[in-house]
Amino acid sequence: MSMAEGDLAVAEMAFVRRATIAPRRPPAAMTGPIAWLRANLLSTPFNIALTVLIMLLLAWAIPEILRFLVIDAVWSGNDRDACLWTVQHREIGACWPFVWERLPYFIYGSYPIPQRWRVDVFFLMLAVGVVWLLWLKAPRRDLGAIYFFIVLPVVSYILLTGWSAIGLEPVDTVLWGGVLVTIVVASVGIVFSLPLGIILALGRRSRMPVVRTLSVIFIEFVRGVPLITVLFMAGVMLPLFVPEQYSPDKLVRALVGIAIFASAYMAEVVRAGLQAIPRGQYEGAMAVGLGYAQMMRLVVLPQALTVTIPNIVNTYIGLFKDTTLVFIVGIFDLLRTIEVARIDPKWATPVTSTTGYAVAAIFYVVFCYGMSRYARAMEMRLAKGGRR
Amino acid sequence: MTADENSGSLLKPGRLRTETAVELIELNKWYGDFHVLRDINLKVRGGERIVICGPSGSGKSTMIRCINRLEEHQGGQIFVDGVEVTADLKKIDEIRREVGMVFQHFNLFPHLTVLENCTLAPIWVRKMPKSEAEEVALHYLTRVKIPEQANKYPGQLSGGQQQRVAIARALCMNPKIMLFDEPTSALDPEMVKEVLETMVALAHDGMTMLVVTHEMGFARQVANRIVFMDEGQIVEANVPEEFFAHPQHERTKLFLSQILR
Amino acid sequence: MPSDLPAQPRPARVVFYNDPKVRSIAYQLVLCTVVALLVYGAARNAIDNLARAQIASGFGFWNQTAGFDISQTLIEYSSRGSTYGRAFWVGLLNTLLVAGLGIVFATIIGFIVGISRLSSNWLLAKAAGGYVEIIRNLPLLLQLLFWYNAVLKALPDLRESIVIPGGLILNNRGFFLPLPVLKGGVGFFELSLLVGVGGAIAFYVWARKRQERTGQRPPVLAVTLLLVIGLPLAVFAIVGRPIGFEFPQAGRFNIAGGIEVLPEFVALLFGLSIYTAAFIAEVVRAGILAVSRGQSEAAYSLGLRPGPTQRLIVVPQAMRVIIPPLTSQYLNLTKNSSLAVAIGYPDLVQVFTGTVLNQTGQAVEVVAITMLVYLVISLVTSLLMNLYNRRMALVDR
């Protein structure tokens, strides 16, 4: 670098730069893939050992998974013989014909085949509702809320259980199974837990001692016990508490249990959101003369719910996973249909179980991961909006 | 450094070994592709007070953070009291013992009392017995005029008090050089004065100081030299009288017009 | 003039049904009445329905003979002599066992994974992240079924058991571990353990005092290791190795000797630990990130090395943030252990709400007792957590 007078910085008191220094590229050793490798993976002996270990692990795990799911997998066949090892084909991977054949069972359970179009309509309506509510740029999202929380439940109920008056043949809930049941249970949980949770949260913050006490007792009781016990309670105790002629069917009992459980957890999430709203909002609303209900509906709740959307979605992810517990009270959700199918002697091979679990895993990962990406996107959006 | 050497020199800053406290030679640093420090040359003599100013993003904080290796430089050399700042951990430890730093956001340890904040490093780094460390701490807390807060927690103090504790905490290690990274930028206006007064008193005791700040009043009062940085390079440097009265470079003039009212 | 004071304006009399206080009392009265009516109605129906099904009421069943076997019992239990009450305790102990061990493993794995996520080693961070993302998005029940059916049940059967040198035999009937056998002289060994631990604590206290006095820090870690591990090992050798092991021997139809660990237990323990560890990893990561970088920068600028910085500055602050959600996860693990009923591990829910309820039919009492147990565990933990929070809260103005 040339040093002209005036460019030289000396320990003298005065200095003025004559020529601006243009930015330069960093030295080669600093950037580029080699430098990155060195910094991130190979910086210390310990790091090097760790990197080697993990690469060995991945070198074993990834090919193994690919082998099972794709390379050595069987893609067509009619029964177990297709998926047993033979002299020519010693390593067997996933038994996909098992999945293809049982797929309708996994999705609809034992729902009568000519009526399955009703289930498809239900799925479609649900998808419409979800997109309408979650897509922030959708028009008239308040109508979307009414659709999702009021219209959809009523129509779905009629559609799925049937109503002879309009020509929809009744279908007993015993026949429902698989993805249909999982989605129904999760949806009921979601649809009921939010309004109930809001009521409970407001109740817990109420100044009326009776209301507050009842809310606290309910919330802490339900949150303190395992979901299994709530399902058992709903399953065995609900028929006891109602007169004999109204005894609810098994699915309804499980739905009640799930709804109660989810509401208690949602209540805490909503409460945290309410606490995050500054007092000034409440005071401002009261100052312009809004009554309690109006203040909540127009000012406080919209803000509280928006702030806690990531937490609400996280609770829904938990709820979605918790739907598998209805398995234990005899409801045929997706997991149970897979359990039933995998022990079918027609498909009994050493790989059937793992194939079945793989299908379940893919289903849940897709849904839950999808929900968590949405939650994270919302979080970032909210963080951006809040920053001035 | 043993405990004995410390107790004798409580009142004066540590003595420098060489004449040059800090020397930056052709200092260059990159953040990824961004050339944040360009060919910085600076020589700071013992006892000098340098004020570094400039628009945000000019690299001033980065430059002083390179001195105690909170940031790593990729080009050029840095010497602190004759010791070069490199990746050598032992040298880094040595330098950090002798260089104190005060941060914009105080960075006090909230789970320790004010006294514990100040005695932590003397006990664990200089291996002082606890009673002696507390004596030193109380001495410096008195110097910054808040000895009565010794047993409070940082969360209980005002911003100005917290920054003064931060100064006392750095002083308890008896540093030879003090670095200040925008020490008053995060304070409410009415508390800026108490911190600046503390720093002025420190200057009058002969401490070598590098201060990144916008407080031009302080600069006028105490600085030997003002260094103006922009876009990663030193644009102009001069004694305060000349700097404010006759800025030479266009950018210096622009900057001064923006911050002086 | 009756008085010289100007007439004081009186507050307007509010119509009683607009008075907020009256309204509030009215709402509450209505609510109480509705709840009371519901409870009364439910109780009446319950009594009717129970009577019709000829199911007993009350807690008399507690002392009736159980008449069923339990596959894992930590206390004395026999199907012929033990009562339902005894079965309750067996189930409860099994729950506590799997929950306790699960908490230990989940914490260890969770901390390692959580810290790894923040590592500068890109591969390690991504691998840990992958683990967390996948495990957290799969239902626990699915993971349990996978471990139980696809892994443990798929182990070879007795004749082709996997034998691990050191005395471990694995097959589809379970894991067989060596059983420690205490011989003479074991008392000295136990004593040396006590002395070692006590001595280490005493040394730590003395070392602290010495550092305060003189500034010198004695080698605490080395001495602790010596006392807690070295001393008992030495005594062990000197006294002639008073702890032997009875190794499991694979016979033709059976395995003799050793400790038998049920595959249900192993599957539940693995599943719970791995699942909860993923959540604990996130808690740990959030806690470490919560400590601002400025804290460690300030410590470094004072001359503190990374080791003491982590120990004295970062970890204490991180733990404050970590411990409340960590206890939450411990509670979740304990409640999740109830999924044992899906794979047949005899925990409290499986034994009591499962078999006992089926045999006695007394659903109300059984479910109520079970819920009470979990409630007590939850509330006690919450209480301790609140106490801890109050003590550790950073003092603010």
Candidates C302, C395, C397: best to mutate against B (most CBs of B within 10 A) is C302
Q: Look at C295 and B109 and tell me if their CB atoms are within 8 Å.
A: yes
Identify the closest residue of chain A to B72 by CA–CA distance: A30
Question: Nearest CA to CA, how far is C127 from chain B (Å)?
Answer: 25
Tell me the per-residue pLDDT of A252-294, one tens digit each, with 9 for 90 and over: 899 999 999 999 999 999 988 888 888 888 888 888 888 888 8
Contacts of C49 in chain A (CB under 8 A): 239-240, 244
Calpha distance A218→C340 (Å, rounded): 26
Structural contact between residues B192 and B200, judged by C-beta atoms closer than 8 angstroms = no
In a domain, C325, yes or no: yes
Q: Give bridge partners of residue B209 from the DSSP assignment.
A: B49, B178
Residues C270 and C383 in one domain: yes
In a domain, C107, yes or no: yes
Which residue type is seen at B176?
A: K
Structural contact between residues B46 and B16, judged by C-beta atoms closer than 8 angstroms = yes
Which domain-ending residue is among C198, C215, C244?
C244
Place of tokens 């009043």: B217
Residues C309 and C375 in one domain: yes
C-alpha radius of gyration, chain C, whole number: 30
> Which of C215, C298, C394 faces B3 most closely, judged by CB atoms?
C215
Nearest to A109 by CA among A352, A333, A347, A323: A333
Write down the number of H helices and E strands in chain A: 17, 1
**Per-residue pLDDT, C154:** 80
Above 90 in pLDDT, residue A93? Answer: no
Q: Look at B70 and C298 and tell me if their CB atoms are within 8 Å.
A: no
Structural contact between residues B66 and C266, judged by C-beta atoms closer than 8 angstroms = no
How far, CA to CA in Å, does A369 sit from each of A316, A357, A365, A373? Answer: 12, 17, 5, 6
In a domain, C3, yes or no: no
**Per-residue pLDDT, B261:** 63
Enumerate residues 6+ apart whose C-beta is below 8 A from C388. C323, C324
Tell me the per-residue pLDDT of C325-353, one tens digit each, with 9 for 90 and over: 999 999 999 999 999 999 999 999 999 98
In a domain, C57, yes or no: no
Q: Please give the tally of structural domains in chain C.
A: 3
Indicate the pLDDT class of residue A10, thresholds 50, 70 and 90: very low
Query: Mean pLDDT across chain A, nearest whole number?
Result: 84
Residues C385 and C270 in one domain: yes
Calpha distance A196→A213 (Å, rounded): 16
Tell me the per-residue pLDDT of A177-223, one tens digit each, with 9 for 90 and over: 899 999 999 989 988 998 999 999 999 988 888 889 999 999 999 99
Q: Report CA dihedral (C92, C95, C99, C102) to the nearest 10 degrees.
A: 150
Above 90 in pLDDT, residue A153? Answer: no
Query: What percent of chain A stands above pLDDT 70?
Result: 94
Calpha distance A92→A318 (Å, rounded): 35
Indicate the pLDDT class of residue A9, thresholds 50, 70 and 90: very low
Stretches in chain C below the pLDDT threshold 70: 1-8, 10-11, 13-14, 395-397
Contacts of A55 in chain C (CB under 8 A): 123
**Is C341's Cβ below 8 Å from some Cβ in A?**
yes
Residues C90 and C225 in one domain: no
Q: Give bridge partners of residue A210 from the DSSP assignment.
A: none
Residues C136 and C280 in one domain: yes
Residues C271 and C125 in one domain: yes
Residues C385 and C268 in one domain: yes
**Is A238's Cβ below 8 Å from some Cβ in C?**
no
Question: Nearest CA to CA, how far is B96 from chain C (Å)?
Answer: 5
In a domain, C368, yes or no: yes
In a domain, C250, yes or no: no
Query: Mean pLDDT across chain C, nearest whole number?
Result: 86
Residues C375 and C281 in one domain: yes
In a domain, C74, yes or no: no
Q: What are the respective helix, strand and coil percentages of chain A, to the nearest 5? A: 75, 5, 25
CATH of the domain at C281: 1.10.3720.10
Tell me the per-residue pLDDT of B52-99, one tens digit each, with 9 for 90 and over: 999 988 999 999 999 999 999 999 999 999 899 998 889 999 999 999
Residues C305 and C239 in one domain: no
> Which of A210, A228, A321 faces C32 most closely, judged by CB atoms?
A210
- Mean pLDDT, residues B210-239: 92
Domain limits for position C198 = 185-244
**Per-residue pLDDT, A180:** 93
Tell me the per-residue pLDDT of B122-131, one tens digit each, with 9 for 90 and over: 999 999 999 9
Query: A touches which chains (3+ CB pairs under 8 A)?
Result: B, C
How does strand B177-181 pair with strand B208-212?
A: parallel
- Mean pLDDT, residues B100-122: 95
Q: Look at B237 and A20 and tell me if their CB atoms are within 8 Å.
A: no
Above 80 in pLDDT, residue B8? Answer: no
Residues C322 and C371 in one domain: yes
Q: How many CB atoms lie within 10 A of CB A311?
A: 17
- Mean pLDDT, residues A22-46: 78
Longest dimension (CA), chain A: 103
**Per-residue pLDDT, B10:** 42
Calpha distance A238→C369 (Å, rounded): 17
Residues C135 and C268 in one domain: yes
In a domain, C306, yes or no: yes
Residues C269 and C386 in one domain: yes
Indicate the pLDDT class of residue A90, thresholds 50, 70 and 90: low
Calpha distance C376→C335 (Å, rounded): 12
- Mean pLDDT, residues A348-376: 89
